[in-house]
With several copies, the nearest count.
Chain A
Amino acid sequence: MMDLPENIKIGLEVHLQVNAGKLFCSCESEGRDTGISFTRILHASSGELGGSDVSTLYEASRERIFKYIASDNSCLVEYDEEPPHKINRNALNTALMMASSFGSQILDRVVVMRKVVIDGSNTSGFQRTSLIGFGGEVRRGNYKSKISTICLEEDACRKVEESGNMVTYSLDRLGIPLIEISTEPDITSPEGAIEVAREIGERLISLGLLRKGADSIRQDVNFSMGNGRVEIKGVSKLNAIGEILQKEIDRQIALEKAIEIWNARGGTEPISFVVNNSIMNGTNSKMILNATEAGKDVLLARLKNGRKLLKSGEFRIGREIADALKQIGIKGILHYDELPAYGITLEEKQRISDFLELGEHDSFLILLEEESNAQYVSNVINNRIEKLLSGDFSETRAAMEDNTTRFMRPLSGSSRMYPETDIPVIEITRDMIENAIKNAPLPLEISVKEISTKYGISPQDASTLIWNNTISIFKEMAERGDPKMVCRILVQKLPELERKKNMKIDNKTLRNVFDFCLSNNFGRYSVEMALELISDGVPQEKILLQEKLRPVDESELTELMKSIEEKRNISAISKEIVSITGRPVDSSLIAKVLGNQSRSKHLNNT
């Protein structure tokens, strides 16, 4: 399908949210805003300044305030105001099952680490992560990939808003357990990546422990084609992998060509901005006028040998530079290739070229900023260009909505990590490993078959239960006697209700409803009525009551039927009974009573 270079290598980091409460506290997976918030500043750790991690330093150079909105599923642990609690054993065991599922080796001791991340996505400034195992293999169809590591980590905050130097996050997602399964870079096609990622996700789905939600599976893609490793973050839709990789390949090929030209011209020299506010005197460019009015200076720099490489044909080195600048909050940059434009005339372009004494192949940059920032900005630009010209494209990039990628930060190194001293080393006992092996998830199709057979439901229904993430509720409730009833409600009634009322009923509520009805020996009609009321927004405590959900019994029904005039349509009768009593009624019971009554009526009539 695609025209791929031969030397591409793809590796995956698949992140799966485990639906088992938070990893280091007792908060639940789901939550809502409390309306309370607080702000923080993150400092690059002093201790790291020596052998420090480049990506950390990078973030530290940006002065930002982080605002956190407390959700009702966050506590002092998420606020970074209390030490982490002991690790969530369910989450840990799930990670071990997943490791077993791929035949990975499980470590005998788990050391929780802190991975420094100071973009504010973790209140502490680090993400807790632990290596659980390594090795093993994922296979699916003709594709396969070796697993390099399996880690258990905390999910980060959910970004809500970014404006000025303030970034706002919600704490609802922070601390949700993530199983990270990383493969070796041994995949050679986007299709292979998709299939491997799908297989990894399906295993946790098969366990029924994947959290519901749009971002419950996220993958990062490692990609290289000979110019260093690019880590593409935040690929949430599997099917997009192909297009993303194609665009990244195009980008790298164009870059390779541009660099070849640039180097052929003799390479470049570090740029250096000079102020020249008067050069734009008399300009009609709103961009320039607005900037100077805001007290900014016109800074000019010659970019040696850069002409027609920044934006021309397939070349887009201008964007590479702009992306890097965006990360430090600098937006106002213009360059030779894109002019005349933005109200800057050809004549003005020429004036600048003359002023900077441009050579034949030279380009220039215009930066609209205060002069005091010039040094800092030029450093960022020079570093960026130097790295590109050296042919090292390795970096962390973010996947965008349009499936292009954008520069995010340098690659993270190992010095981002140091031990989480608040949590002692966790011993993985023989029992835990045996349990993991015993309960390791099977490939989804096998699970489907097993469930279908065991509970006497169709494979389609079993599959739906698994994909809808209601399989664990199904198993639990089916064991209490009536798998078909439970299945019917979960597979038909529930999605129908959710669609009709456009609202999701969470698993905890579902579990409560089933538990209450089954404990009271109430059947299908009671469960359905309860779910309907819940989807209408009635609070649980007003619904889960015996006097409310107890089905109308035969003698009550017989009595009630007397007052009903039209007795032809059972469904209509049922509706009327429900509206009179406010309680559920079994249609078959209506049919039965109807039968009896018509018989007795008949008797009377004759």
Chain B
Amino acid sequence: MPKGKEISEGSTIEFTLKEKNLKGKVLGIKDSYLNIKLENGYNIMVIPDEIKKIINEDKINKIEREYSRESGQGTNISVISTGGTIVSKVDYSTGAVFPSLDISEITSRFKYIEKSYHVRSIPFLNILSENMEPEQWLQLAHKIVEESKRSEGIVISHGTDTMTYTASALAFLLKELSVPIIMVGSQRSSDRPSTDSYLNMEAAINFAASDFGEVGISMHSSISDDKIALLRGVRARKMHSSRRDAFRSIGENPVGYFQNGLVNISGPYRKKSASTSIFEKIEKRAGILYFHPGMETEDLSEYLEKKLGVVIMGTGLGHISTKFIDVIKEYTDSGRMAVMTTQCIYGTTDLDVYSTGRLLSRAGVTWAGNILPEAALTKMMVIMGNYPDFEWQKRMVTDMRGEILQREEIGVF
């Protein structure tokens, strides 16, 4: 770049590159490259030195657009945004995605929604879901209590990565619900014409107006844009890293579906209650440990030192190497809790079947049927935060929110 020239972001410049005169808009400087959008729409990345000559520069102000936080009329629905891509916008020059609160962008796609629902957008967090922490679950639960007083349903937009953790945590934190809590996300970001976000959100708003008194998840049931599933939060899991239909109910069918504008909830579910109430605390000193051959006894013992409770993802019906028995026994003897789950994901634990299981059971390991590891972790955090320790085990093995299935039928695996 010619010396003395300072190029500012957003300006339009004429310049010479590789002996050709070009015109473009400067989008920014990234990793010492100038990012320029040419007139034909293509972006190029140029090292400033490569630009031999700047013919002209026009500085242009950025345009700020207004957005609406409320839209439509009818049933009151609150959409609490935690920063998932679903209510995000893309900066079309850089391709960067940033969160938006313009709720009308979603609702205006579906005219009947504008007519039937009054949707309010509540900014709450703006984080990537992998950065979600237990404290924020508690804050979110409080926010839900607040919103439940003025809305008939709550939709929570959330990144898909840890959505089932948050859904489980909320399910356990919320003792009773006077409104449906519907989590929604998208696997294709909203900047793509093919995004799944609008359909997922349309379904979520409709689910939120039902009498579903639980924490649910509203996501595609297949890779087609035609049927959205309502999954029970404590039994759902993100089972594919990229597909639209990544979320699956483990061991049961989805509670309901949304298709052709209609909600159909066919599975058993808890109806909403008269009021919403919550547990006030959450115990953070809990974690998940994934057993594998080659794991050392110190791996386990050092990890356990820091935790009041641990969810072990064992093999098969809930096994780990028998060399760990002593460490585990010492741990549970000291009043702490070890809960066994299975890394198979599907199916139940049962420590009565094989000798290792029976040894673990005798060493104080708790097993709670087919509870999922994510549900076990969040349930443990809520139980340990709010109940005396002598009740922990009993609570853990007792179904609270549909997280322990009593029956698994043929078609759900």
B13 CB to closest chain A CB (Å) equals 15
B302 within 8 A of A: no
Whether B18 contacts A135 by the Cβ 8 Å rule is yes
Whether A111 contacts B43 by the Cβ 8 Å rule is yes
Q: Give the number of chain B interface residues (Cβ < 8 Å).
A: 61
Whether B408 contacts A126 by the Cβ 8 Å rule is no
Whether A39 contacts B95 by the Cβ 8 Å rule is no
Per-position binary interface string of chain A over residues 124-142, scored 1 when its CB falls under 8 Å from any chain B CB and 0 otherwise: 1110011100110000000
B37 within 8 A of A: yes
Instruction: Please report whether the interface of chain B is mostly helix, strand, loop or mixed according to DSSP.
Output: loop
B192 within 8 A of A: yes
B85 CB to closest chain A CB (Å) equals 12
Whether B50 contacts A108 by the Cβ 8 Å rule is yes
B260 within 8 A of A: no
Contact pick for A80, options B43, B194, B199, B348, CB 8 Å: B194
Contact pick for B243, options A34, A81, A414, CB 8 Å: A81
Contact pick for B20, options A48, A49, A135, A416, CB 8 Å: A135
The closest CB in chain B to the CB of A107 belongs to B44
Which chain A residues border B92 with CB–CB below 8 Å? 45, 47-48, 51, 415, 418
A486 within 8 A of B: no
Whether A118 contacts B193 by the Cβ 8 Å rule is yes
Which residues of A1-46 have CB atoms within 8 Å of chain B's CB atoms? 25-27, 34, 36, 38-46
Contact pick for B193, options A44, A51, A419, CB 8 Å: A44
Which chain B residues border A151 with CB–CB below 8 Å? 42
Which chain A residues border B44 with CB–CB below 8 Å? 107, 109, 111, 131
A357 within 8 A of B: no
Whether B408 contacts A421 by the Cβ 8 Å rule is no
Q: In the complex, what distance in Å separates the CA atom of A44 from the CA atom of B353?
A: 22
Q: In the complex, what distance in Å separates the CA atom of A27 from the CA atom of B348?
A: 16
Q: Which of the 9-residue segments A314-322, A337-345, A422-430, A555-563 touches chain B? A: A422-430
Contact pick for A43, options B94, B193, B224, CB 8 Å: B193
Which chain B residues border A107 with CB–CB below 8 Å? 18, 44
B406 within 8 A of A: yes
B411 within 8 A of A: yes
Contact pick for B43, options A25, A113, A416, CB 8 Å: A113
Which residues of B332-384 have CB atoms within 8 Å of chain A's CB atoms? 347-348, 350, 352-353, 358
Which of A34, A114, A115 lies at the interface centre, i.e. has the most chain B CB atoms within 10 A of its CB?
Answer: A114
B39 within 8 A of A: yes
Whether B222 contacts A38 by the Cβ 8 Å rule is yes
Whether A80 contacts B188 by the Cβ 8 Å rule is yes
A431 within 8 A of B: no
Whether A414 contacts B63 by the Cβ 8 Å rule is no
B409 within 8 A of A: yes
Whether A134 contacts B194 by the Cβ 8 Å rule is no
A366 CB to closest chain B CB (Å) equals 29
The closest CB in chain A to the CB of B195 belongs to A43
The closest CB in chain A to the CB of B226 belongs to A39
Whether A111 contacts B243 by the Cβ 8 Å rule is no
Which chain A residues border B293 with CB–CB below 8 Å? none
Which residues of B174-194 have CB atoms within 8 Å of chain A's CB atoms? 188, 190-194
Q: In the complex, what distance in Å separates the CA atom of A115 from the CA atom of B191?
A: 12
Which residues of B53-77 have CB atoms within 8 Å of chain A's CB atoms? 63, 65
B274 within 8 A of A: no
B232 within 8 A of A: no
Whether B94 contacts A76 by the Cβ 8 Å rule is no
Contact pick for B244, options A81, A115, A125, CB 8 Å: A81
Contact pick for A149, options B37, B40, B195, B406, CB 8 Å: B40
Whether B109 contacts A43 by the Cβ 8 Å rule is yes
A404 CB to closest chain B CB (Å) equals 28
Whether A125 contacts B242 by the Cβ 8 Å rule is no
The closest CB in chain A to the CB of B65 belongs to A50
B19 within 8 A of A: yes
A444 within 8 A of B: no
Per-position binary interface string of chain A over residues 344-379, scored 1 when its CB falls under 8 Å from any chain B CB and 0 otherwise: 000000000000000000000000000000000000
Report B's interface with A, CB cutoff 8 A.
Answer: 18-20, 33, 37-47, 50, 63, 65, 89-97, 102, 105-106, 109, 188, 190-195, 198-199, 222-226, 242-244, 317, 347-348, 350, 352-353, 358, 406-411
In the A-B complex, the 9 residue pairs with the smallest Cβ-Cβ separation, listed nearest first, are A125-B193, A417-B41, A414-B41, A419-B95, A26-B406, A418-B92, A131-B42, A105-B18, A421-B95
Report A's interface with B, CB cutoff 8 A.
Answer: 25-27, 34, 36, 38-51, 56, 60, 70, 72, 74-76, 79-83, 85, 105, 107-109, 111, 113-116, 118, 123-126, 129-131, 134-135, 149, 151, 413-425
* Pairs A–B under 8 Å by Cβ, sample size 25: A34-B410, A45-B92, A45-B191, A46-B105, A47-B91, A74-B409, A79-B223, A79-B410, A80-B188, A81-B223, A82-B242, A83-B348, A83-B350, A105-B20, A108-B47, A109-B33, A109-B45, A116-B193, A125-B192, A125-B194, A126-B193, A135-B19, A135-B20, A418-B94, A419-B95
